[in-house]
Structure 1
Amino acid sequence: MRAAVAVAQSATDPIAGLVVQDVPEPEVPEGWVKVRVRAASLNPHDLWTLRGVGHPAERIPMILGCDGVGELDGRRVLLHGVIGDPDAGGGDETLDPRREILSEIHPGTFAEYIAVPRRNVVDLPDGLSFDEAACLPVAWGTAYRMLTTRAGVSAGQAVLVQGASGGVSAASIWIAKALGARVYATARTPEKRAYALAMGADAAFETGARLPERVDVVVDTVGEATWSHSLRALRPGGTVVLCGATTGGSPDPELQRVFYLQLKIVGSTMCTLDELKGLLALIDEKGPLPEELIDRVVPLEEIRDGFEALASGEHLGKIVVRLPLASEMDAVAGFAAARAGTSLAG
């Protein structure tokens, strides 16, 4: 089968270590299933692996990809990317000390087939396409957990989303709006602020700008560059929920503001299987998803183009990778051969 594999790591030229090549189909342990992947999407985690960040060199080569959707026994299925034991995490697999996500220890979704635990397969609602669904588990699942389980957002509250063009941030805008919140967003450029509005924000502002009101919840994936603004934007008793810090950790946490206004700082990582199902139910109720969800779609053989767009940071929306069926690949090859005036036979 064909797969996109990290064969080397480099902090300065990460994409040089990405190769699309033939690999054996996965073995299927007891309790696992083999899914025919139809679409997947890129995440910063994939780029970090190629850069050698958080992924030991001894686990290279590795098939990349954390998100995926495909077919199993005639069913359209979505893959829950967190592999963990809910019992070890007190009912929450994200709290299992040994939990992992696809492409860390077990091969990822940028392949024609993938083996996953049977519990990690979720039936896909009819209203979602393969391309749309491939965008959901990591970014949208993370955002759903942040807003519901961790921050407890409810209808009528005000939410600020920092760095609104990022995958988790864009998802947070749509989800918070679907939950009935007033949603404000910040972004550095007019294009990214327009994107935030297209994703459902009530208003979008330059980073650090004064808001119309203080908010109940801030979603911050940025870190140092927005940290002071996040705290200053909160009402007394408000909550900042964090899942990352793309600009680094804050050297000035403004601790006096935190204790004087009784602010809550909450961390969050990924989502549980139940939360992923909750996200699908919310989308089924409040959808459809906006067209702006997807920036571009690339075939597996051109996945390097997708990684270059991801590394540039200038894309708006998710980058989807399609993995066609063998019959579709044959049709494409036949069309290309016909255009070249040759036959498949020779």
Structure 2
Amino acid sequence: MINLSKNQFEGKLPKSLINCTLLEVLDIGRNRINDTFPSWLISLPKLQVLVLRHNNFHGKITSPLSTPTVHDFPCLRIFDLSCNFLSGKLPSRIGYSNYAFYDEKYNYVVTMTNKGSETFYTKILTVLRVIDFSSNKFTGRIPMMIGNLRGLQALNLSNNNLVGEIPSSLANITDLESLDLSQNILSGVIPQELTKLTFLGVFNVSHNHLVGPIPEGEQFNTFDNSSFAGNLALCGAPLSKKCLKDSVASSLPQQSINDDVIEEDSKLIDWIIKSLGCVSGFIIGYAIGKIYVTDQHHDWFVETFGRRGRLKIKVKRSRQRHSGIARGN
């Protein structure tokens, strides 16, 4: 173990540390170290705790190897880079490995931000697994590969410039107890899959650009407004803004009134259509009548439908009755 924390050391981190091949814990937090990220520490095969918080580390996190391994820092369990000036995309390999576990405790003290507040640990249990990249200048999306950290207990990516959607792969981190993604530029919906995180005690996505309904069930029923504040397009409990389906349900009386109005309008429309049908029929009948009442058909019309025509019909019917009686006799 090397603990140089809470001093006023300046300059760069000495690369001679690369010779400490048995080093498991390195804590230089709360100093004035001004350097790029010490990616060469990957050469320490047993490094499990790396705390660089509250310094002036800057630049991008890159792998020092020409052919990067699948996972850099294969044994790392606590990775604290918070409150620096690191930029670029989040690393897709560093610290995202399966952790090595041992049965002993470290006789070692460390202060870390866990579950939303700074916690002082007098002894670090080897089962504690934390990544804290908060308060830097990281950009880009949250890597989907982060879901491979199934044993991670706390993940803090707050106060950066991360964009895109919250990856649903976070639901694979089944031991996760604290997730802080606040103060970024994240968009899209909160994945419903996150309700599977039954150990989640702290959840903070405040001050992003998230939209849609807040997932319901399990641990999500325990989070208060502060977990979601600053996302104007979020809706649902615990926020006072209801989602569309809730708004519809709560406005049923108004909706029934609107339905009555719609029904009355429908009846009015039906009456208008029927009226138009009658009018159009009258117009067509009138046009046909007009045609047959012209000069060339006047005589036929009068003969057929006039008084003389009706008289001829009566005479014809009378003759038919008389002839029928005569045949009967």
TM band (smaller chain): under 0.3
TM-score w.r.t. the length of structure 2 is 0.23
Q: Which has the larger radius of gyration?
A: 2
TM-score w.r.t. the length of structure 1 is 0.22
Q: Bigger relative contact order, structure 1 or 2, given CA contacts below 8 A and separation 6+? A: 1
